[in-house]
């Protein structure tokens, strides 16, 4: 059985029997929006795998008093999946972040590709904050104890350097492209060893340019086809993550902490 999840990044040293206060935005949501009541059970996570199962003892106007009943440290999902998502118009990039978080993405890299219509130039901090808020809400909705990391936006040149570093470290990088002939699922089925990290690169509405494909391929990435039909920029990443999780993933473990 799962319980509502709230985020407290300062939660690190809680023990069974401790009394906690959930305040701030999370406390307001629990008390005033969700209308939690004494006796209910909720989970408080720190975004880094720590989960405290708590009983609501008292409800204030914008806060909850909690008693910790169980506490555990959950392992991160394996493999570590990174989504490189090109900026897209109409909120489709944020939709990709939301769904990918629900599917288990660990890191998200915003990409200003050559054909991006949307741009964060001059407003990078605001754009990243939106993606972080989207990932945070999706992680709580899906009851995750690990919060995805949203990195700074990168150019194609910077992305190529990142891809080269990932490949040198033994990771896999797949570029989603409708003209590819190799199917992602077939590549993963043919792998003898499960990779510790997998990167998925998704282009914008107009697609990835030939020069970008060439540069990424030279850095060690592999161009793959996801499905028989062309997927939107918002759905390609989540689809790929689902395939990776099904063929390469292992269940996270939870270790009780006394």
CATH architecture of the domain formed by 80-248:
3-Layer(aba) Sandwich (3.40)
What is the total residue count of the chain? 258
pTM listed for this prediction:
0.93
Q: Return phi, psi of residue 143, to 5°.
A: 65, 30
Which of helix, strand or coil describes residue 142? coil
User: How do the domains of the chain map onto residue ranges?
Assistant: 5-74, 80-248
What is the Cα 4 distance to its own chain's centre?
19
pLDDT band of residue 255 (cuts 50, 70, 90) is confident
The predicted pLDDT at position 143 comes to: 96
The predicted pLDDT at position 189 comes to: 87
Q: What tens digit of pLDDT does each residue of 22-76 get? A: 999 999 999 999 999 999 999 999 999 999 999 999 999 899 999 999 999 999 9
Per the CB < 8 A criterion, the answer to whether 254 and 73 are in contact is yes
Q: What is the DSSP string of 150-201?
A: E---B-HHHHHHHHHHHHHTT-EEEEE-TT--SBHHHHHHT-SS--SEEEEE
The percent of residues in the chain predicted with pLDDT above 70, rounded, is 99
Q: What tens digit of pLDDT does each residue of 123-178 get? A: 999 999 999 999 999 999 999 999 999 999 999 999 999 999 999 999 999 999 98
Q: Which CATH class is domain 5-74?
A: mainly beta
Mean pLDDT of the chain: 93
pLDDT band of residue 192 (cuts 50, 70, 90) is low
């Amino acid at each position: 059985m799962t319980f509502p999840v709230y985020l407290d990044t300062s939660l690190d040293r809680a023990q069974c029997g401790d009394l906690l206060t959930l305040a701030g935005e999370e406390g307001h949501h629990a008390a005033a929006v969700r209308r939690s009541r004494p006796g209910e059970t909720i989970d408080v996570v720190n975004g880094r795998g720590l989960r405290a199962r708590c009983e609501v003892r008292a409800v204030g106007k914008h806060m909850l008093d909690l008693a910790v009943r169980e506490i555990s440290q959950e392992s991160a999902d394996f493999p570590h999946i990174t989504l490189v998502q090109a900026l897209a118009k109409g909120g489709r990039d944020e939709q990709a972040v939301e769904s990918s978080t629900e599917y288990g993405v660990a890191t998200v890299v915003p990409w200003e590709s050559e054909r991006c219509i949307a741009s964060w130039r001059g407003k990078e901090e605001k754009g990243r904050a939106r993606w972080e808020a989207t990932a945070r809400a999706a992680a709580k909705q899906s009851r995750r104890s690990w919060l995805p990391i949203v990195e700074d936006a990168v150019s194609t040149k910077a992305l190529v350097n990142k891809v080269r570093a990932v490949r040198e470290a033994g990771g896999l990088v797949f570029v989603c492209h409708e003209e590819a002939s190799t199917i992602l699922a077939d590549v993963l089925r043919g792998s003898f060893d499960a990779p510790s990290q997998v990167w998925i690169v998704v282009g914008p509405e107009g697609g990835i340019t030939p020069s970008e494909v060439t540069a990424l391929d030279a850095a060690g990435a592999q161009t793959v086809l996801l499905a028989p039909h062309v997927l939107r920029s918002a759905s390609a990443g989540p689809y790929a993550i689902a395939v990776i999780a099904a063929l390469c993933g292992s269940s996270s473990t939870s270790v009780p902490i006394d």
